[in-house]
Structure 1
Amino acid sequence: MLGLKVEVPRRILGYLLIVFLAASFAGYLFAIGNPGAAMDAVKKLAEQIDPTSDSSFENFVKIFTNNSMVALFMLLSGLFFGLGPWLIMAFNGFMVGLVVRAVQESGELSFPQIILGLVPHGIIEIPAIALAGVSGIIWYREIIKGEGETGERFKRGAVKALKLFALSVLLLLVAAVIEAYVTPRVAGI
């Protein structure tokens, strides 16, 4: 089928997701012990992100663009000794845990609303971001451990990585549609 078969290294993907979840838990616990620092971090994060628009389409474009850039960064960071995606997943997980606890502490949303604000799109978005990280890691591994000349290994790794990256971006497109159009209605936000 046009050479589009994509093999996903499930073990790496699974470990990246575990790192995200563990870091989310750590961020949540940190926020419990340091509510002031958590609120300050959330305020700084909110300042960096544009306020949400009343237009679902504008939100969709912003969400998809931002997540695609994160995915690209995950891909490219994998080329740095295969370590970048692990650090990015840990940081993002920590921030999610921190934000969940800070929003919960603020009382603006109930815990079920917070969960409903994350789960519908997050169950696609987080693995898609991790998949982009996997693409960078396998590219790096192909360059280092593959057979043949360096140029051949680089190209072979790039082809494998770009196939996974394309799948990641497609999943991010679906997640952005859900986040912009479905999540606000489901969570009542």
Structure 2
Amino acid sequence: MNTRSLLHHFKEMKHYFIVVVLVFGFSFYLGWANSASFSHFLKDQLAGLETVSKTLSNKENPQVWFFIFIFLNNAIKSILIIFAGLLLGVWPLFMLVANGMILGYVLSLQTNENTLSIVMKGILPHGIIEIPVILIACAYGLKLGMLVWKMGVQLLVPPERRTASVEMKRILHLTKPLIVGMVVLLLIAAIIESTLTYWLVHL
């Protein structure tokens, strides 16, 4: 399975891509419009990141440390999201909702004048790469989860009609070029976030 096969498979995944975008968008809205209702959960999610950020900021060459942390965190998390989908798709769905709500919550804390500035300086430069990669990882995680459910149901039908296991093997082969592509894109995003984004935020 090569990159061409993966890109061709993206067409078959269009319904999953639509679903993850809609869920992410709805989660973003929940975090934005109902920040008070979810503030305890969202603050807990952000507390760990704030602690790490302060620790890295106090080190020598903080931009290098930010790059290492951002890249490893996003790369490992994205790969885990895909394969955690084998646990019935629960974890990819949770990560999708959590990330959408956190982003919405963070932006809801800004004043109207500052929101556009935060988006343009602190999110857009690297987020234009990072967010689609995470959404793709969630889509494939959900796909694997659905195939696990389907394989369970197909245990009740004759072996010749059990197509889910064949599709599962195909998807697992496709994860090889998928992971390589994701890691490369996340490497680029981490470079941007630890340089351009870091510089813009600290202007």
What TM-score, normalized to structure 1? 0.78
Q: 1:95 to 1:166 in 2, by over 3 A?
A: same
Between Structure 1 and Structure 2, how many residues are aligned? 183
Query: Which residue number in structure 2 is paired with residue 119 of structure 1?
Result: 124
Q: Which moved more, 1:79-88 or 1:136-145?
A: 136-145
Give the alignment partner of residue 66 of structure 2, picking from 31, 56, 59: 59
Query: Which residue number in structure 2 is paired with residue 4 of structure 1?
Result: 3
- For the pair shown, the structure with the greater C-alpha radius of gyration is 2
Q: 1:40 to 1:130 in 2, by over 3 A?
A: closer
Query: Is the CA contact 2:63–2:198 (under 8 Å) kept in the aligned structure 1?
Result: no
Query: Which residue number in structure 2 is paired with residue 110 of structure 1?
Result: 114
Query: Which residue number in structure 1 is paired with residue 33 of structure 2?
Result: 29
2:104 paired with 1:97: yes
> Match of 1:113, as an amino acid?
S
How far is the alpha carbon of 1:48 from its aligned partner? 4.8
Query: Is the CA contact 1:131–1:165 (under 8 Å) kept in the aligned structure 2?
Result: no
- CA deviations on 1:147-179 (whole Å, 9 max, x unpaired) are 6694x6543331123322322222211111111
2:188 paired with 1:174: yes
> Structure 2 CA distance, aligned partners of 1:36 and 1:77?
27
Give the alignment partner of residue 49 of structure 1, picking from 43, 52, 63: 52
Q: 1:89 to 1:79 in 2, by over 3 A?
A: same
What TM-score, normalized to structure 2? 0.73
> Structure 2 CA distance, aligned partners of 1:35 and 1:156?
39
> Structure 2 CA distance, aligned partners of 1:149 and 1:28?
38
Query: Where do 5+ consecutive residues of structure 2 fail to align?
Result: 152-160
How far is the alpha carbon of 1:93 from its aligned partner? 0.7
Q: 1:140 to 1:161 in 2, by over 3 A?
A: farther
3-state SS, counterpart of residue 87 of structure 2: coil
